[in-house]
Amino acid sequence: MNLLYTLAAFVVAVSAACSQDANMASPQASQPDGAAAAEVTPSQDPPRPHRAFPDTSATIAILADQLPGGLTAAQQRVVADRFVGTQKLTLDLSRPLRALKPSFLVLHYHLAIWQSAPGVSFIVDGGTWGNDYREVDKHEAWFWHNANGQRVASSVDKKLLMNVGDAAFTKYWGDSIVEQVLEIIKPGERVLAIIPDKTRDDNTDVLFPITSRILDQHSVACFDALVAQGTHPPMSAEQKLLKLGLDQFTGTVFDHRWDRPEDLITLGELTADQVTDLTAGLITKAVPVTLNKLLAPGIYDTVLVFGATVPHEVAGFAGGAKYFFPGVAGPELTHMTHWLGALAGIETIIGEVETPTRRLIEAVACLSRDHDRLLRSAAALP
């Protein structure tokens, strides 16, 4: 699986056949071929390049600011040896570095509050500098104005301050970002979206319709969704459409049936010693790790995960691997994470990056043989 973060979404890649049904369903109602729980056949397709952010819990890694062009071969070797990555490099500059160090990261981003002025460019795709000022300049309401009704520009580089409260500008900016993110998805791919359930307040209803439209333009083979409901009860068909921000959806929306062993695959187990170490002794028993079988290799080519990164009373922060574990995991892990949160105490967890629950979640994610690909971010895309 390959993972891509953007806004509140990240992308994973797997492979195989997908459901052709077009209804709101539980997995047993319309199951992709090859999704058997007992045995999984890995895809024979070559994996996409994946570049994970390094673990910095016990070391320091340097991601440098934008590197200059024209580096000599010797300078490229120094960069590849000393840095884990940089930002704002076009492909012609990043490829030589990745030839030396395949895991070399390149952060690509598009500012929202500061809009590039005519003479200020950003990378509009992997290989081209440019800007969209000609289009943005047509909409005066998209710009922030001072008391005299004038546009407000940075005194440093003349970027223009944008009115991010303008709904039309917000939509335009969001559309452009999602389009860039989904460029990697090819015609004929099978795409699955993991979405939060009704208990989560996020912007899935904003991003999902944009994504659906773009994927239709990409001529994907199918676009389905799986609700990361943990052990919550399923949503109704009406609630699902409301979450998706759509009046109708031609794909299948699967409920996560955590209570059906045949709908889960086993990744492994965290031993009692591992759990004890990860939770600082709050829990001392082993836990089996299972996951919704729709995420097994051989089911979908690309998985998009929608959701917010916000403070969370059990994990510290929602987001990342939590959408898999416990979002679409089996009951043993889900129950353990919630009990662990209660033992640790909300006052020591909520809003904290390092928590016993988050350590447990990340360790469980590492059990997947494809976890290094799951952690690929937008910074690492070619």
Domain at 369, CATH number = 3.40.50.11440
Asked, for residue 236, whether it belongs to a domain, the answer is: yes
Residue 108 located in a structural domain = no
AA letter at 68: P
168: buried, middle or exposed (CB in 10 Å: 19+, 13-18, 0-12)? exposed
> What is the C-alpha radius of gyration for the chain, rounded to an integer number of angstroms?
22
pLDDT of residue 78: 95
Please determine, for residue 364, whether its predicted confidence score (pLDDT) is greater than 70: yes
Percent of the chain surpassing pLDDT 70: 82
For the chain, where are the E strands, in sequence order? 4-6, 9-12, 24-25, 85-87, 105-107, 114-115, 122-123, 129-130, 160-161, 190-196, 222-228, 253-254, 264-270, 287-292, 302-306, 311-312, 316-317
Q: 180 in a domain, yes or no?
A: no
Instruction: Tell me: do 285 and 345 sit in the same domain.
Output: yes
199 and 157 inside one domain: no
Residues 214 and 343 in one domain: yes
Provide the pLDDT for residue 375. Answer: 35
Residues 280 and 330 in one domain: yes
Q: What is the average per-residue pLDDT within 225-239?
A: 92
User: How confident is the model over 26-36, as pLDDT tens digits?
Assistant: 443 334 433 33
Q: Is-contact 114 131, C-beta < 8 A?
A: no
234 lies in the same domain as 156: no
Picking from 132, 163, 194, the residue at the C-terminal end of a domain is: 163
Residues 152, 195: one domain?
no
For residue 368, the model assigns a pLDDT of: 63
Q: Are residues 219 and 308 in the same domain?
A: yes
154 & 266 share domain:
no
Same domain, 35 and 134: no
Number of separate domains in the chain: 2
**Statement to judge: residues 242 and 319 lie in one domain:** yes
Please give the pLDDT value at position 27. Answer: 41
Q: Is 127 found in the same domain as 270? A: no
**pLDDT score recorded for residue 206:** 87
Share above pLDDT 90 across residues of the chain, in percent, rounded to a whole number: 39
Average pLDDT over all residues of the chain: 80
Whether the predicted pLDDT of 86 surpasses 70: yes
Is 373 within a domain? Answer: yes
Residue 52 lies in a domain: no
* Contacting residues for 235 by C-beta, under 8 A, at least 6 apart: 197, 198, 227, 229, 243, 255
Does the pLDDT value for residue 379 go beyond 70?
no
Q: What is the pLDDT of residues 183-211, one digit of tens each?
A: 889 999 999 999 998 888 888 988 899 99
Report yes or no on 98 lying in a domain: no
Under DSSP, the state recorded for 186 is P
Supply the range of the domain harboring residue 195: 4-47+186-380
Would residue 359 count as lying in a domain?
yes
Local confidence band at 222 (pLDDT 50, 70, 90 cut-offs): very high
Statement to judge: residues 144 and 220 lie in one domain: no
